[in-house]
Structure 1
């Protein structure tokens, strides 16, 4: 089977802020947008199945404990639960500033939100606690991105800071504000602001990206031997034909394949590349899209790659009043060897 790529006929009307495939049914895709809506798509044909309106711009969305539960967050400061079957919503907690990220771990029933007020809200949604109870953890700086592995939570923040938590420890925290002991605190090996983070599916490490066209790959194991394996590389740069100078773009999005240490990167240059994290090589680069790549997500079976396209304003121009035709939800059905890792010698 060869790969197949198509666009949704009904994309959001404003910039895309987040993409999330269902961890249970591969073709169910959620998209959050600055137009204050969550969109539900079918990845098989890109058809929009539903649209759910909120009162303010949304910055992230994720699925919950099943295909009918979702969580969204954004500029209204709230963490929302959304019933996709009925459209009903409920507020689980409220931060003091906009909520940048929300992520759910089915194995522990933890919903984690990260706000620009420099806090995490840890919602334990098991049957033993009410849906509106949560634990608040203070962060040293403003969070930019979250990612989960099988046992860990990685938080990328301002000032090139990273914090890594063990999910099992977060699941046992009491309600209220706590001073939780970290598993690890790190500083990015890149010199500029972190934009995205994505954990490896084998629970061994993570990739992070910066605004200055670089990606770093690191391992959780703090041993000296393991830390010697970490590396960083340049990407999403375009050479000017007249001057030979590099034009550097932010790497806005990262996503790991669900079963392989292969990840996709998306940049302000409108390009998406696939990388083998272990072999330190690029596997594939797709054709240039019409605008910046804002978000990426793999389906739970690795068959689909969703790509959120919208103006990133890297050129310094003001946002368009009408984004018709500039915002796209692209779904790529991968061929069997499209994300294949390099064979070990």
Structure 2
């Protein structure tokens, strides 16, 4: 058994479902959290305090740091906002025709990418705060992740399109998810070789960006976040994936309330943490890999259960090499 590492809950958590937790680009101290309570909060986890908060008019579905000062967010109000942490000013940059589901930032190209339920991806230039292009996708955008020049977009209908953000006018590489059920999350390897994709049906696939037959042969999928209870195997959605930047290992969080850490190259589970009170909605490793932020937040998988729900909580867990380093 691995020894129990220090773990604590953030004070003043969001008051409704947590949609995203994400650490600053170079910091293990500042955590950005978006929520269905229409707010985006910046936590100082060292002091366990909320450093600042700003709001949208509707639930917020995603948020991202551009740099230590500027953060971006979008959600059901269809508006992309930029917030300056130092001055406390927020700016509505632009909008989509439907909810903004994903917001990500490319450090290499200094652009913001947004994916929407209006079946488009838009690219934004933060230097001039405007949209530089809108690109049709095959269906509603559910999840996106960047790997250098590549933007991997997962949509409804199990489509996976891989765009080159230097040349968005060129047709993307068009794939289908190798999992049979709806895509829930995509996250790219820090070394930019591929991506991990999860589904609502307790499975994870490891894929490679190289489209050669040799690379295609290396892809694989595995079952996870399934629990046998009373002789019945219950299968849970895998909602969240976060990579350890140094080791290229990754954590998955499921609606079973468990977090697992995997070594994708050696096809091994490294560890499993204790069970959290409810679904894991989002995960984020700090840039240095020292801590993992875990959002425990009921996602209404069973619509009949609405009473006595566990409160939404963000846990900060210190992780060891033993838990995250390939064996």
TM-score, scaled relative to structure 2: 0.95
Unaligned runs of 5+ in 1: 171-179
Unaligned runs of 5+ in 2: none
Alignment-derived partner of residue 40 in structure 2: 38
1:41–1:50 Cα contact (<8 Å) kept: yes
SS state of the match for residue 314, structure 1?
Answer: coil
Q: CA RMSD in A?
A: 1.6
Matched, 1:336 2:318: no
Alignment-derived partner of residue 261 in structure 2: 274
- Deviations along 1:277-314, one digit per CA (max 9) or x if unpaired, are 00101001000000100001111111111111111222
1:95–1:115 Cα contact (<8 Å) kept: yes
1:155–1:162 Cα contact (<8 Å) kept: yes
Structure 2 distance, partners of 1:220, 1:328, is 35
Alignment-derived partner of residue 170 in structure 2: 181
SS state of the match for residue 157, structure 2?
Answer: helix
Alignment-derived partner of residue 50 in structure 2: 48
Q: How far did residue 102 of structure 1 move? A: 0.4
The alignment covers a number of residue pairs equal to 325
Q: 2:209 aligns with which of 220, 225, 239?
A: 220
2:143–2:155 Cα contact (<8 Å) kept: yes
Structure 2 distance, partners of 1:48, 1:125, is 26
SS state of the match for residue 295, structure 1?
Answer: strand
Alignment-derived partner of residue 174 in structure 1: none
Alignment-derived partner of residue 85 in structure 1: 86
Structure 1 distance, partners of 2:226, 2:49, is 33
2:122–2:131 Cα contact (<8 Å) kept: no
Q: 1:311 aligns with which of 269, 291, 298?
A: 298
Matched, 1:210 2:199: yes
Structure 2 distance, partners of 1:213, 1:58, is 26
Alignment-derived partner of residue 236 in structure 1: 225
Alignment-derived partner of residue 57 in structure 1: 59
TM-score, scaled relative to structure 1: 0.90
List, as ranges, runs of 4+ consecutive aligned residues in structure 1 with deviation greater than 4 Å: none
- Deviations along 1:191-211, one digit per CA (max 9) or x if unpaired, are 000000000011100000000
Structure 2 distance, partners of 1:246, 1:58, is 33
Q: How far did residue 45 of structure 1 move? A: 4.7
Structure 2 distance, partners of 1:333, 1:169, is 40
1:98–1:117 Cα contact (<8 Å) kept: yes
1:33–1:58 Cα contact (<8 Å) kept: yes
- Deviations along 1:84-135, one digit per CA (max 9) or x if unpaired, are 1232111111111111010011111110001100011101234xxx212331
Alignment-derived partner of residue 275 in structure 2: 288
